[in-house]
Chains A and B, each alone.
Chain A
């Protein structure tokens, strides 16, 4: 909402500079952004008087004007259609720098021009280029135009109004708030006029069929108005807050709206059928055409203003075309009403239509201001549009709005704010807010809230007023704060941090991806989850809550690869959701951690020519190591039977009784088709962080290191190619005896010198005893046992 400083001064006096006023309003909770004065940076523009206009001898469209600049006459060549003798205009002198360029003396079709008379767009005031700016007659010739402009229009502010302050949707409202800071009073314009027309009751009746939606409806009728342009002062006022003047009747209603905060509506009386106004709820499917030419269909819950036959306005939101005033309107009916905020908000939301009126009604206007505003606009219309106003007004007020009574304890103020307030000062400020004091004691004060402050319903609302008026910046910071031991540390959250840091130490980079994705992306699932659909999504691509992290991770990797970032280690920790509203209306939420590996494992180096390329075993190693680090458990692996067109070689990672996650390769065809990636493989892991946490072992177990020598032995065997290395290691471990400390598989060979269908495997075994030196023959025995079992179980041959 836009507020103008000059306009505010009509209602109260203050001495703030433009910057100070903005700051004071902001500290009052009315966050004010000063609107830059468009002409502020201009110079060398004075007010000139056009003293003679003649046709240019060599150009049809151009005029030769003599313009007095306060010191001398200047010849100005001007092409504007509205230039004429004896008008006052801004005159840009040579040297003046306008947004479009610098003014200098030029010759136009052979005649010199000693300056320029600008249009609004040339000064950056608006985009109007229809003609030059013509100033009011009282403008003083020769003075600086920028100064003149500032004096005439004041400074405007865009106020970002919070929903709790309906009282400040007007200049009077903001002026009233300023009086809380100053010693000045609020001066409301006095209203007086003569009711010279016939009795209004002969012309209309108001029937309110829905008093909950419309607690108060008042009207006046004015006969014989003359629609024309508004006077300059009124046009200036509206322009100063960014409104475009339309005609005297519309402008008057807009002016009073911006002055008092009361929305007003004007009907062309002669277009209303039957001598009655009916306020009722819409019927389901009822259609109307609003002022903006839009056809709108309603449900059965929208408040309508109707004549004897049909709707003429959507209450509190917008009038309809069928009763709109036109240039030929002579008789008008003025509406000033109080509509129920929730009702107007519902209608405005339903129709998708917010107006200056609905903005105020839905916040709650002042129900006791309805008549004042009606009289104020009547007075103004009589003054600028003539006519006769009917005797009496109609004020139908079936449902009285009663301001709440609130008891405020002085001690409670101090308890909330943490500073001692003087009850006398507090009382004084409450009075200035417009409260009625109903009762007062040493401990407390009982107040009736002013009708324009529907937000003041409870004691706490008044405590907020105290700190607002006193100034939050003045409240002292407490000298100390109470600290309590962190006895509720969230282990689960800390665990996330640990996992994150560990993955970063492995060289993985953390990424964040959107939680919303498309239905197609659920096909990247490895875990079985049902996606949650958004009823009002931004787009098809963002219509579901994600059920996996891999779709996003692969997409991020693809974007990187396509930007030539080819060596990638990424991870994400995030939530996925499973549709399940049966349990207490909650979706099932899981936290996953996912990893992606692709490209070369090592950076470029002069030390080696061939960098290793990542494969699934590299990712498996990283994942196993991570799991082992946090759980002290060696996970088990199983081949997955999942059938998907996204992944190949899927391995299940199992931690005791739980499925921790999946390791796999993204299918080459998918990379090629969807992401345009060739010659590069992507390997991914998706796992449940909750399962990992379930087995989290934060205890450190120390065992002494043996001081006796370790003995190493290598075993090389030949087995059929389909034998699993994992099961062979198991056989070795099961038969290695207590002294076998470690089995490392370090060579796999197939091909030359090896029988078809066989592979050669080599293992390194380390034996050690904590208490003594091992003898060769004990180890030989153990190795023999291992061989025997390898032969028996996997038909291994020694090499």
Chain B
């Protein structure tokens, strides 16, 4: 093999190496030294110039110059590529904030209602609605509130006409449902209710309730207890205890109020601002549907029994989220609202 072939061969190898060379500072520098360094391949061949026959010296010179130019250009181009690559890497700031969408939110009262409805949906309760402007009949009489009875004092009422009121509870939905549907009846009735009470940190003239009703053969107080245990443990947590104590509502008998153990102090009550030291938080009223209420809707109380329960959504939401002023829930600040989402 003469020197011409050697150079051509070397050029070939150079091309091969070049095509596989990574854009990396050290690799490029090694590559440059290998070809263009003082002891590099180009120098090596130039040093052999003397050995070339005179008649081909010109030809060899041309060949070597073009080889050198090729290598120099390749190395320059490599260095430029390297430079660009390094530049790019320097400016990639992975910490720059991403562009986010504007997030909406679901009102804490909607969320609370939905969460409660979903628990009862799982055990076959459907949802029923009723009007906000109600008749005295549905709001009181059919629910066994006699006229001129102290029981009416427990519900400060807004009147539209003598016999038309803003409903004081969602219980009228019970009656409306019993009128149009025969047992078994298994409903939840959510909705907005009204009480004529001055607005302060714990009272608002508009508020919300959810009422549950189950009427069938052989419905017992014992089953009511099981249902409410299920609800409380699912909604407030497994560790929460509850207690039933006798109370009075005109439309149920026996009637009970249900307290849950305070989740702030764990029920021991000491110095607790939430339960005011009692260890218990009142969350709902319940009872067995009064036979008078069943009869008023043409359901035979000898054949059917039932239970009902009702709770204030504002109270539950305030307890659950630690909101200490009911007014925060109405006409709210967006920074307050932002914190609630439907999960």
Contact = CB atoms under 8 A, between A and B. Distances in A.
* A and B associate: yes
Interface of A: 26-29, 31, 33, 162-165, 341-342, 345-346, 362-363, 415-419, 458, 460-461, 463-464, 467-468, 472-473, 475-490, 492-494, 497, 500-501, 503-516, 532-538, 542, 545, 552, 555-556, 559-560, 563, 565, 567-570, 574-575, 577, 581, 585-587, 589, 601-603, 605-607
A417 to B, nearest CB: 5
B104 A507 contact: yes
29 contacts: A27-B246, A29-B245, A33-B278, A345-B150, A418-B221, A460-B291, A463-B254, A467-B254, A476-B225, A477-B226, A481-B227, A489-B126, A490-B127, A494-B127, A500-B110, A503-B104, A505-B104, A510-B104, A511-B331, A514-B330, A515-B192, A532-B133, A542-B205, A559-B331, A560-B333, A565-B333, A570-B334, A589-B132, A589-B133
Given A29-B246, A489-B126, A515-B206, A606 B106 contact: no
A192 B160 CA distance: 56
A511 B332 contact: yes
Nearest to A585: B135
B196 interface: yes
B291 A475 contact: no
Interface in B148-182: 148-151, 153-154, 158-161, 163-164, 166
Given A478-B226, A490-B127, A538 B205 contact: yes
Contact of B330 (A467, A483, A513, A567): A513
Given A484-B124, A490-B129, A363 B150 contact: yes
B261 interface: no
Contacts of A31: 245, 247, 257
A569 B104 contact: yes
B223 interface: yes
Contact of B102 (A467, A468, A603): A603
Given A486-B125, A513-B331, A575-B132, 4 more contacts: A418-B221, A478-B223, A485-B124, A535-B161
A184 to B, nearest CB: 21
Contact of B121 (A472, A486, A537): A486
A417 B153 contact: no
Nearest to B126: A488
B68 interface: no
Contact of B246 (A362, A464, A501, A504): A464
B243 A512 contact: no
A571 B339 CA distance: 16
A153 to B, nearest CB: 21
B186 interface: yes
Contact of B216 (A472, A482, A514, A589): A482
B88 interface: no
Contacts of B263: none
Given A497-B114, A538-B199, A585-B163, A510 B124 contact: no
A92 B150 CA distance: 47
Nearest to A497: B114
A472 B332 contact: no
Contact of B333 (A363, A501, A563, A587): A563
Interface string B201-231: 0001110000000001010111101110110
A481 B228 CA distance: 11
Interface in B110-127: 110, 114, 121, 123-127
A618 B194 CA distance: 36
A105 B218 CA distance: 74
A419 B221 CA distance: 9
A603 B100 contact: yes
B102 A342 contact: no
Contacts of A416: 220-221, 254, 288, 305
A555 B184 contact: no
A615 to B, nearest CB: 16
Sorted nearest first, the 5 A-B pairs with minimum C-beta distance are A418-B220, A418-B222, A29-B246, A162-B248, A504-B104
A35 B337 CA distance: 39
A163 B229 CA distance: 27
Given A514-B206, A534-B166, A478 B225 contact: yes
Nearest to A558: B331
B253 A478 contact: no
A513 B205 CA distance: 11
B93 to A, nearest CB: 10
Interface of B: 96-97, 99-107, 109-110, 114, 121, 123-129, 131-133, 135, 147-151, 153-154, 158-161, 163-164, 166, 184, 186-187, 190, 192, 194, 196, 198-199, 204-206, 216, 218, 220-223, 225-227, 229-230, 243-248, 253-257, 278, 288, 290-291, 305, 329-335, 337-338, 341-342
A606 B329 CA distance: 34
Nearest to B288: A416
B127 A467 contact: no
B253 A552 contact: no
A375 to B, nearest CB: 29
A501 B161 CA distance: 38
B331 A490 contact: no
Contacts of A464: 246, 253-255
B205 A514 contact: yes
Contacts of A538: 196, 198-199, 205
A204 B100 CA distance: 90
B97 to A, nearest CB: 7
Contacts of B124: 483-486
Nearest to A536: B159
B255 A504 contact: no
A509 B105 contact: yes
Q: Which of B121, B151, B154, B253 neighbours the largest number of chain A CB atoms within 10 Å of its CB?
A: B253
Nearest to A489: B126
Contacts of A563: 333
A509 B104 contact: yes
B160 A532 contact: yes
Contact of A507 (B103, B160, B248): B103
A419 B164 CA distance: 41
Given A516-B206, A537-B158, A585-B135, A163 B221 contact: no
Contact of B132 (A476, A542, A545, A570): A545
A511 B128 contact: no
A419 B254 CA distance: 14
B220 A587 contact: no
Nearest to B331: A556
Contacts of A537: 158
Contacts of A516: 194, 205-206
B184 A484 contact: yes
Nearest to B118: A497
B221 A467 contact: yes
Contacts of A569: 102, 104
A417 B110 contact: no
Contacts of A363: 150
Q: Which of A473, A512, A559, A563 neighbours the largest number of chain B CB atoms within 10 Å of its CB?
A: A512
B6 to A, nearest CB: 56
B337 A461 contact: no
A559 B206 CA distance: 20
A514 B163 CA distance: 23
A101 to B, nearest CB: 23
Contact of A467 (B105, B186, B206, B246): B246
A306 to B, nearest CB: 24
Contacts of A362: 150
A346 B148 contact: yes
Contacts of B337: 509-511
A515 B132 CA distance: 10
